[in-house]
Structure 1
Amino acid sequence: MFRSPFRMFCVAAATIAVSLSVYAAVHSASRNPLDYEIHDMNRPMAPVVTPGTFSENCKPPSDAIVLFDGSNLDMWNGKWDVKDGYVKVIPKSGDLVTKQAFGDCQLHIEWSADPDSKGNAQHKSNSGVFLMKIYEIQVLDTYKNENKTYADGQAGSIYGQYPPLANPARPAGDWNAYDIIFHRPHFDQNGKCVKPATATVFFNGVLVQDNEAIIGPTSHAKRTDYKAHPDKLPLKLQDHRDDPIRYRNIWIRPLD
């Protein structure tokens, strides 16, 4: 059947327009952190989506720095427990911090919430991936939004600032993956921030943070201003009040 090229163009254009309008609606509805009080329970939760298939035992790129391959913590300072190819927080042991410092980077990290956790809200397998030890991408059991908490504290959020665009979390006990593109902030000679840090985050292959400008260091229940710091600082995995959490397959590619 003959289809007019003009008609086909119009259909394609209309489809693109609808897709863009949906994206714009989701992306702009509640993205400005300053439009809400921090940890505002009235802020809309991210819509639940079912992620695609997950490839286990995926190999890092040839130029990646492997931070954890399941065998030891030689690249880290900390005393977490290594077993069965993953590392698990030991209660009251403190955070896990890389020996090496990083600035702009691409980070891959996999995590699993504890299916036996008795906590709720912000005490259900809570942890965090702290870029430069300062800027947190939240880790939390928020499968299907069943664990009620504040939107800017969901898994995949830039904690206290940007909720994720979607919630593709897998159930506790299954493995999740973050792929993060991070660019550090820039400061002038007087210590003023002239270019904020930015983060793009894929959560189980789903875009949940789209080059968002981080408004300052992570802090609980308050917003803090930038303070000048070195161009490179370590990566930190959080021990959050002894919440059970597991990590594996961690690698990083410096981009600076």
Structure 2
Amino acid sequence: MKRTIQFLFFAWCLIATTTSCNEQPVGVGAKAPADAQVLFDGSRQMLDEQWTYWEGPRLAAELPIKWEIVDDPAGTGTAVNSNDPTAAGGQYGTADIVTKQKYRDFRLHVEFLIQQEKGNSGVYLQNRYEIQVLDGDSTRHGMGTVINETESPYFAYKGVGQWNAYDIQFRAARFENGELTEKPLVTVYFNGQKVHSNVAINKVWGGPYSGLDGGNDDGYGITDRPGGIKLQAEGHPVLYRNIWIKELDLAEPNTDF
């Protein structure tokens, strides 16, 4: 009987789309654990309470946030559209939104849907390190990459008009006496598949318009400041929903889960 139960559990793990075998919720539709903080539930109220425009050097948008709350194409509530008019033409940094709360180590869940081909946005960890959202690009700058640091796991992408999910565990850079001693680390699941494991991030890519420390020593001048979760406006209709985070304290340099 015990062997039968073990087999059934293993079989369930192979076909499950929203929960991994280590009982961590991953994939589209993964619900926030009781000890997690919901950052966006589809409502205008939560958007305004939890988020604001990033006050970077290129900021051109003005509050209130102009990202529109729209009906979920899947018919399951509402989502937010990153197509802020200020960012038309790909002017990233002009209307990106960031959480008001700042974080160090954490577990993050984000769901996104690209409505048109070549749709472009991005999920930023600590408002520094981008996990790319970019339809049609399978290069090291493309979909699902720890941008410019890894190969693209494009095989895991569901395509235009479909909801996708990133599940991310992140450990912030460590410092001693103001000096960088351990690089930031990240593990990423893309639609329930582990695609990056304990990737060391070398720099903030994209320059000062991209995120915190982007203008410091060509992005290598990472500092010890905590940062928020940022979503990028690139002038494309990319939707977001079901965003939650759980703060962690990862003593060891290991983000695998």
TM-score (norm 2): 0.68
Work out whether residues 185 and 199 of structure 2, in 8 Å CA contact, stay in contact via their aligned partners in 1: yes
The reply to whether residue 106 of structure 1 matches residue 107 of structure 2 is yes
Partner of 1:96: 97
Query: In the TM superposition, what is the alpha-carbon distance from 1:92 to its structure 2 partner?
Result: 1.3
1:213 equivalenced with 2:207 (yes/no):
no
Q: Percent identity?
A: 38
Give, as a single letter, the amino acid of the residue that structure 2 aligns with 1:102.
Y
In structure 1, how many angstroms separate the alpha carbons of the residues matched to 2:170 and 2:123? Answer: 12
User: CA offsets, 1:105-137, max 9 Å, x none?
Assistant: 00000000113x4xxxxxx11111111111110
Shift of 1:53: 4.3
Deviations 1:86-119 (CA, angstroms, capped at 9, x unpaired): 010222150011000011000000000113x4xx
- CA distances 1:54-75 after superposition (whole Å, capped 9, x unpaired): 6765421001110000112020
Distance in 2 (alpha carbons) for counterparts of 1:170 and 1:229: 36
Question: Is 1:133 matched up with 2:127?
Answer: yes
Tell me, in whole angstroms, the C-alpha distance in 2 between the residues paired with 1:97 and 1:247: 13
- Report the 3-state secondary structure (helix = DSSP H, G, I; strand = E; otherwise coil) of the residue aligned with 1:170: coil
For residues 246 and 150 of structure 2, the distance between their equivalents in structure 1, rounded to whole angstroms, comes to 24
- Sort the Cα spacing of 1:107 and 1:129 in 2 relative to 1 into closer, same or farther, 3 A: same
8 Å contact kept, 1:155–1:167 = no
Choose 1 or 2 for highest CA Rg.
1
Aligned residues: 190
In structure 2, what is the Cα distance between the partners aligned to 1:98 and 1:104?
Answer: 15
Distance 1:70 1:63, change over 3 A: same
Q: Show the counterpart of 2:228.
A: 234
The root-mean-square deviation of aligned C-alpha atoms, in Å, is: 2.3
Q: Confirm whether residue 244 of structure 1 aligns to residue 216 of structure 2.
A: no
CA contact (8 A) 1:164 1:209 kept: no
C-alpha displacement of 1:156: 1.0
Counterpart in the other structure of 1:75: 50
Q: Distance in 1 between matches of 2:245 and 2:112?
A: 15
| CA distance in 2: counterparts of 1:210 and 1:103, whole angstroms | 18
Cα–Cα, structure 1 residues 70 and 174, in superposed 2: closer, same or farther, change >3 Å? same
Structure 1, unmatched stretches of 5+, are 1-50, 118-123, 142-146
Supply the distance in 2 between the matched residues of 1:154 and 1:52 (Cα, whole angstroms).
27
Structure 1 residue matching 2:186: 3-state secondary structure: strand
For residues 83 and 216 of structure 1, do their structure 2 counterparts lie closer, same or farther at Cα, with a shift above 3 Å needed? Answer: same
Residues in 2 aligned to 1:202 and 1:57: alpha-carbon distance in whole angstroms: 14
* Other structure's SS at 2:244 match: strand
Q: Once structures 1 and 2 are overlaid, which stretch shifts more, 65-74 or 84-93?
A: 84-93
Distance across 1 between alignment mates of 2:228 and 2:243: 14
Q: Given that residues 138 and 152 in structure 2 are in contact (C-alpha distance below 8 angstroms), is that contact kept between their aligned partners in structure 1? A: no
Match of 1:65 in 2: 37
Structure 1 partner of 2:247 = 254
2-structure distance, mates of 1:92, 1:225: 25
Structure 2 unaligned regions, length at least 5:
1-14, 19-26, 54-64, 72-77, 88-94, 208-213, 250-257
Greater CA deviation, 64-73 or 81-90? 81-90
Aligned equivalents of 2:104, 2:228: Cα separation in 1: 8
Q: Distance in 2 between matches of 1:219 and 1:56?
A: 29
- TM-score of the two chains, using structure 1 as the length reference: 0.68
Pair 201,188 (structure 1): closer, same or farther in 2 beyond 3 Å: same
Q: Hey, what does 2:57 align to over in structure 1?
A: none
Distance change >3 Å, CA 127–CA 52, structure 1 → 2: farther
Q: How far is 1:224 from its partner? A: 3.8
Q: Please tell me whether the aligned partners of residues 205 and 219 of structure 2 are also in contact (alpha carbons under 8 angstroms).
A: no
Q: 1:77 to 1:251 in 2, by over 3 A?
A: same
- CA contact under 8 A between 2:174 and 2:182: conserved in structure 1? yes
